[in-house]
């Protein structure tokens, strides 16, 4: 009996499920779709090979697709979905790789992966949903000034919460 | 001296030492599991950066207020330049944060390869490692590694050639340097003085997936060396294995029980993503595009909050372990079931467990590892199957790795089970083997037929009658024929004094595969058979170990002696299946053994002959009048170059011993011991 420190096939599929959602969501923009599809492939290969750097690189491609779609005017609801899906993909794939490094291919790990996936999905969708709600129900027009306030505020918060 | 001391059971002293050792072991375990390692741990908190958090909150809330219609944002003169500046600096900062991630180490626990037996190596694996280093190593070290491999092979070839041709080493060295030692031009050239294998060419070959010239050439050399070794045929060798999933050597991390809390740095760089979204959003928003990227940034902020809000999970776990069999036979499969209960009031979102499989035990089915999420009060169980091995094997505590929801905080602990689990396994061997020994005997009646004439069964000689010869042995036929009195002499049958010596040095922990029983296991099984059958045949038998752990059982006869020897083989620390750590000095051990051995004793050594020290010890003892029979379980493999070299070297050791008059039983462990002994006996009587 040997320990193969690579994930089982099923774990890789679970990690890729949110990435598929992200790629489908990014179909609103052809360029984004192509970049994200490449990202999906890299994440899949990296997860199977238990390589953290490939997982991060692939998720980076997905996020590049998100930025491109956002800058080119994709609807906020779609962007919420694909951003959440990208972050969930990355954290789940990393989780799967970490489990593979600790426990190898043969250990039963499905429940742990699903719980992680569920937790990350809920949190990201919740935070993005609140922001989306604020925008959908806002009455005032967004001046560049307001936008700058919002964005700089988020940037400062992000910087403060750097984990 | 008290009367008790005079008539002390030789086993009791060892038992006392054993008990002391076990008590010490228990104490050490308690001390170890109480150790708390470097716990430097702080959950991330807003208090880490109070100023940034406060300003960020104020600015964001003002922005939100403006969005819902309150006029709190001053109409600052946001010109194009200012907006572009903010945007660019957000993008640059974000990129910097992402770059910083590249230089952040990911911190996490390491888990040991508990599936394998820790104590076994495959003979020749060090040469294989050197060869792999010479082919795949870093370019700086490759040249040195290559020279190292060639030199090792040269040394081996010189000593093998010298021994096979019975010539001095200097002559053999010249022959090898001149390439005169073999007919194969490739092998001769490889070891000759002007050998040159192109390292660059090999690199290209290894890149395109072909075997390198270095490995094909070393294989050619080994085929020629095998031709020199008696009793070896290179045609029987296994083909090289390409099974990468089964390593020939174990990659084991140390089993120190660290109790650590750590931040994994898993999410570092997340800020970078958010800042990038913000920067790109400001840039795009400036040209009046709907601010979708704000939502993206908010989602990233949400993820960061997720990391920030999670708290380190409590470590309140109860572990129970059950074994499917209480008294298994060696080799029997035992199912281990581990039950873990979350005794805290909180959900454990990420719980990873690695069971503490005893080092000498190997897992044959299932995985001793498990990951799950565990609600408060919930119990999970998992099971796997191990192979029972002789001796007592207490389980180590379970290694537990707990993480919070986001995986940013990690706690590593070692939780012992509520009651100590021990896999105990007794030797289960019956012995009525006839073990051939040297005709060096004590003056007691036994079963070894000697060359001394006297009373017995087999006719030895006839001599002139002397007064006092028993009437029954007078040759009455001769008296009738010629009237002369003559006495028949029969071969006397004496008992032998035999000490069975088990090679349990670190060097003897070898096996043809890492997941196979070690040569020491085979030696111990063989020793048990030998002791029991010699005792049954009326010989007096003792037991000793070649090991840093001293083990000595005075030679004796009688039924209890076999039981005493068996209890030592099962329980003594020298035979517990763990590779000994302490240093072993062969010369001291050999001298001490000579002092302890009765003068008429002979030895049966069970050893895989995996190194030259074993041969030296045997030759010393043999030369000093203690005849030795070596019973050698064959633990060599032949799938790789190093393993083949080890096979050739062992064959040369056996040949060296046989030349010195030592009897060697070469035991292929796939076959029963009797077959090997029968074959050896035919050889000795031929």
**Closest to B637 in 3D by CA, of B130, B240, B112:** B240
- Higher-confidence residue of B362 and A20: namely A20
The confidence score (pLDDT) of residue A115 equals: 92
Banded model confidence at residue B290, pLDDT cuts 50, 70, 90: low
CA B53 to chain centre: 54
Whether B241 shows a pLDDT value over 60: the answer reads: no
Banded model confidence at residue B4, pLDDT cuts 50, 70, 90: very low
The confidence score (pLDDT) of residue B263 equals: 79
The confidence score (pLDDT) of residue B5 equals: 41
Mutate to test the interface with A, among B68, B80, B299 (most CBs of A within 10 A): B299
Sequence-distant (6+) residues with CB within 8 A of B238 are B637, B638, B639
Q: Round the average pLDDT of chain B to a whole number and report it.
A: 78
Q: Exposure string (b/e) for B363-392, b if CB count within 10 Å is 16 or more?
A: beebbbbbbbbbeeeeebebbbebbbbbbb
Q: How far is CA B16 from CA B21, B79, B581, in A?
A: 9, 90, 22
- pLDDT tens for B195-207 read 665 666 776 776 6
The confidence score (pLDDT) of residue A94 equals: 93
Separation in Å, CA of A117 to nearest CA in chain B: 10
What is chain A's length? 163
The confidence score (pLDDT) of residue B243 equals: 40
- Higher-confidence residue of B355 and B7: namely B355
What SS3 class is residue B585? coil
CA distance B334 to B362: 11
**Residuewise pLDDT in 10s, chain A (163 residues):** 567 788 888 999 999 999 999 999 999 889 999 999 999 999 999 998 888 888 999 999 999 999 899 888 788 888 889 999 999 999 999 999 999 988 888 888 999 999 999 988 988 888 888 878 877 776 555 666 666 677 677 767 766 665 4
- Cβ-based burial of A51 (10 A; exposed 0-12, middle 13-18, buried ≥19): middle
Whether B252 shows a pLDDT value over 80: the answer reads: no
| Torsional sign, CA B46, B50, B54, B56 | negative
User: How many contacts, defined by CB atoms under 8 Å, are there between A and B?
Assistant: 328
Min mean pLDDT across A159-163, B262-266, B331-335 is at: A159-163
Residue B21, chain A, CB below 8 Å: the answer is no
Residue B271, chain A, CB below 8 Å: the answer is yes
What percent of chain B has pLDDT above 70? Answer: 78
The confidence score (pLDDT) of residue B487 equals: 86
- pLDDT tens for B459-500 read 778 888 888 888 888 888 888 988 888 888 877 777 788 899
Residue B62, chain A, CB below 8 Å: the answer is yes
Chain A residues with CB inside 8 Å of B299's CB? 80, 83-84, 87, 124-125, 127-128, 131
**Tokens standing for residue B453:** 């004439």
The conformational region for residue B166 under phi > 0 = left, psi -120 to 50 = alpha, else beta, is left
Which one of A73, A134, A145 has the shortest CB-CB distance to B290?
A73
The confidence score (pLDDT) of residue B3 equals: 42
CB contact under 8 A, B406 and A120: yes
Q: Any alpha helices (H) in B229-312, and if so which ranges?
A: 270-286, 292-309
Residue B429, chain A, CB below 8 Å: the answer is no
Residue B307, chain A, CB below 8 Å: the answer is yes
Chain B residues with CB inside 8 Å of A73's CB? 284, 289-290, 292
CA distance A163 to B49: 11
| Torsional sign, CA B355, B357, B359, B364 | negative
CA distance B85 to B81: 6
Over residues B271-287, mean pLDDT? 76
Chain A residues with CB inside 8 Å of B284's CB? 70-73
Which residue has tokens 């890729």? A16
Q: What is the dihedral of CA B229, B234, B235, B236, to 10 degrees?
A: 80
Whether B11 shows a pLDDT value over 50: the answer reads: no
Whether B420 shows a pLDDT value over 80: the answer reads: yes
Over residues B218-238, mean pLDDT? 81
Q: Does pTM top 0.90 for this prediction?
A: no
CA distance B503 to B625: 20
CB contact under 8 A, B306 and A151: no
CB contact under 8 A, B58 and A153: yes
The conformational region for residue B625 under phi > 0 = left, psi -120 to 50 = alpha, else beta, is left
Banded model confidence at residue B439, pLDDT cuts 50, 70, 90: low
Which one of B48, B115, B369 has the shortest CB-CB distance to A2?
B115
Which one of A87, A125, A160 has the shortest CB-CB distance to B56?
A160
Residue A78, chain B, CB below 8 Å: the answer is yes
The confidence score (pLDDT) of residue A55 equals: 92
CA distance B612 to B503: 13
CA distance B120 to B665: 23
What percent of chain B has pLDDT above 90? Answer: 10
Whether B338 shows a pLDDT value over 90: the answer reads: yes
Residue A31, chain B, CB below 8 Å: the answer is no
Within 10 angstroms of residue B154's Cβ, the number of other Cβ atoms is 19
The confidence score (pLDDT) of residue B441 equals: 62
């Amino acid at each position: 009996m040997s320990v193969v420190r690579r994930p089982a096939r099923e774990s890789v599929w679970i990690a890729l499920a949110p990435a598929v959602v992200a790629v489908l969501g990014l179909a609103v923009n052809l360029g984004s779709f192509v970049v994200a599809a490449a990202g999906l492939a890299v994440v899949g290969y990296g997860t199977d090979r238990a390589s953290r750097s490939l997982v991060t690189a692939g998720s980076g491609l997905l996020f590049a697709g998100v930025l491109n779609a956002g800058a080119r005017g994709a609807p906020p609801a779609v962007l919420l979905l694909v951003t959440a899906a990208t972050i969930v993909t990355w954290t789940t794939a990393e989780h799967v790789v970490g489990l593979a490094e600790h426990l190898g291919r043969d250990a039963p790990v499905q429940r742990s992966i699903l719980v992680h996936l569920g937790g990350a999905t809920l949190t990201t969708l919740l935070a993005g949903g609140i922001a989306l709600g604020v925008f959908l129900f806002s009455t005032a027009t967004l001046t560049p000034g307001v936008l700058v306030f919002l964005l700089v505020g988020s940037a400062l918060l992000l910087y403060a919460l750097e984990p | 001296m008290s009367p008790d001391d005079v008539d002390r059971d030789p086993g009791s002293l060892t038992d006392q030492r054993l008990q002391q050792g076990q008590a010490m072991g228990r104490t050490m375990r308690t001390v170890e599991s109480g150790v708390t390692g470097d716990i430097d741990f702080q959950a991330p908190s807003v208090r880490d950066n109070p100023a940034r958090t406060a300003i960020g909150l104020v600015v964001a809330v003002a922005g939100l207020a403006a969005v819902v219609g309150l006029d709190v944002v001053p109409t600052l003169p946001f010109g194009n330049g200012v907006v572009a500046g903010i945007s660019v600096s957000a993008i640059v900062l974000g990129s910097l944060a992402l770059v910083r991630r590249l230089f952040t180490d990911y911190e996490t626990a390491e888990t040991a390869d508990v599936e394998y037996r820790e104590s076994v190596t495959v003979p020749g694996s060090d040469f294989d490692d050197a060869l792999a280093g010479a082919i795949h190593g870093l370019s700086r070290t490759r040249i040195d590694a290559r020279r190292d491999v060639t030199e090792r092979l040269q040394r081996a070839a010189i000593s093998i050639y010298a021994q096979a041709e019975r010539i001095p080493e200097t002559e053999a060295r010249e022959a090898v340097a001149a390439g005169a030692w073999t007919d194969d031009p490739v092998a001769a050239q490889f070891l000759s003085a002007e050998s040159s294998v192109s390292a660059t060419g090999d690199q290209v070959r290894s890149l395109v997936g072909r075997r390198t010239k270095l490995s094909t050439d070393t294989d050619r050399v080994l085929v020629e060396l095998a031709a020199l070794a008696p009793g070896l045929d290179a045609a029987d060798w296994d083909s090289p294995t390409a099974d990468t999933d089964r390593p020939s050597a174990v990659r084991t991390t140390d089993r120190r029980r660290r109790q650590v809390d750590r931040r994994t740095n898993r999410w570092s760089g997340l800020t970078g993503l958010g800042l990038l979204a913000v920067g790109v959003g400001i840039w795009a928003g400036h040209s009046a595009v709907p601010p979708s990227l704000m939502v993206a940034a908010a989602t990233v902020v949400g993820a960061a909050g997720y990391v920030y809000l999670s708290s380190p999970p409590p470590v309140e776990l109860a572990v129970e372990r059950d074994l499917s069999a209480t008294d298994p036979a060696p080799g029997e499969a035992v199912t281990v079931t581990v039950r873990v209960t979350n005794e805290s009031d909180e959900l454990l979102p990420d719980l990873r467990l690695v069971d503490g499989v005893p080092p000498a035990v190997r897992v044959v089915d299932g995985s001793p590892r498990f990951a799950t999420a565990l609600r408060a009060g919930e119990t999970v169980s998992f099971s796997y199957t191990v192979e029972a091995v002789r001796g007592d094997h207490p389980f180590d505590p379970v290694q537990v790795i707990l993480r919070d929801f986001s995986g940013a905080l990690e706690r590593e602990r070692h939780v012992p089970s509520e009651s100590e689990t021990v896999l105990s396994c007794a030797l289960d061997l019956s012995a009525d083997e006839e073990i051939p020994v040297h005709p060096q005997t004590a003056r007691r009646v036994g079963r070894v037929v000697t060359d001394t004439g006297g009373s017995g069964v087999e006719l030895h000689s006839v001599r002139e009658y002397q007064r006092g010869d028993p009437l029954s042995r007078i040759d009455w036929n001769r008296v009738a024929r010629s009237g002369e009195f003559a006495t028949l002499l029969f071969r006397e049958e004496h008992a032998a004094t035999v000490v069975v010596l088990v090679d349990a040095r670190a060097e003897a922990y070898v096996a043809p595969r890492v997941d196979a029983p070690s040569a020491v296991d085979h030696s111990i099984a063989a020793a048990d058979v030998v002791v029991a059958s010699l005792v049954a045949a009326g010989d007096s038998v003792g037991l000793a170990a070649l090991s840093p752990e001293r083990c000595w059982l005075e030679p004796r006869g009688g039924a209890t002696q076999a039981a005493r020897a068996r209890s030592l083989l099962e329980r003594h620390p020298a035979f517990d299946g763990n590779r000994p750590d302490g240093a072993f000095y062969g010369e001291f051990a050999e001298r001490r053994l000579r002092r302890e051995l009765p003068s008429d004793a002979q030895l049966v050594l069970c050893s895989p002959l995996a190194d030259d020290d074993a041969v030296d010890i045997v030759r010393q003892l043999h030369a000093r009048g203690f005849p030795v029979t070596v019973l050698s379980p064959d633990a060599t493999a032949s799938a790789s170059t190093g393993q083949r070299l080890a096979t050739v070297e062992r064959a040369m050791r056996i040949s060296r011993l046989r030349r010195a008059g030592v009897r060697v039983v070469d035991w292929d462990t796939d076959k029963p011991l009797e077959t090997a002994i029968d074959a050896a006996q035919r050889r000795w009587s031929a």
